[in-house]
């Protein structure tokens, strides 16, 4: 399982610490490993603007849902994190935590899904 946080004054502050703590309870009494890596660059402002102004706008109009509802649905569909040991423990990653590369991959998955499953064309950012 991957959790993200920030080191401040030599201490790790975990984002969504309630999820982290719930997960730790499932590992009670077991030995674990912890790997700490430097966080990679987050998605760009341009990527985020394109996502909301183009993709989310088109899909919300097509499906008749609010923008935030479409966003949450896409996160659940494409950004789920599964735990092999505890299959019922699932989290949808936040788009704010995606790297620029991960965000491009996320957008490509949305475009393929919209085209293949719903015959909806979603333009590329440079169009």
Q: Measured at the alpha carbon of residue 43, what is the angle toward residues 40 and 79, in degrees to the nearest 5?
A: 90
Domain assignment of residue 33, given as a range: 1-39
Query: For position 16, what pLDDT does the model report?
Result: 85
Do residues 66 and 92 share a domain? Answer: yes
This prediction has a pTM of 0.64
Per-residue pLDDT of the chain (127 residues; tens, 9 = 90+): 888 889 999 999 998 888 889 999 999 999 999 888 887 777 888 999 999 999 999 999 999 999 999 999 999 999 988 767 777 777 788 898 888 899 999 999 999 999 999 999 999 988 8
Do residues 62 and 25 share a domain? Answer: no
Do residues 59 and 92 share a domain? Answer: yes
CA–CA separation, 103 vs 67, rounded Å?
A: 18
Radius of gyration for the alpha carbons in the chain, expressed in angstroms and rounded: 17
Buried/exposed code over 7-24 (b: 16+ C-beta within 10 A; e: otherwise): eeeeeeeeeeeeeeeeee
């Amino acid at each position: 399982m991957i959790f993200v946080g920030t080191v401040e004054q030599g201490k790790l502050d975990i984002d969504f610490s309630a999820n982290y703590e719930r997960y730790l309870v499932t590992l009670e009494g077991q030995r674990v490993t912890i790997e700490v890596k430097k966080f990679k660059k987050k998605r760009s402002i341009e990527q985020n603007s394109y996502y909301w102004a183009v993709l989310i706008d088109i899909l919300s109009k097509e499906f008749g849902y609010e923008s935030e509802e479409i966003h949450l649905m896409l996160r659940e569909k494409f950004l789920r994190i599964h735990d092999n040991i505890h299959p019922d423990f699932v989290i949808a990653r936040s788009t704010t935590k995606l790297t620029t590369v991960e965000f491009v991959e996320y957008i490509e998955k949305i475009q393929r899904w919209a085209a293949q499953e719903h015959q909806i064309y979603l333009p590329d950012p440079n169009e």
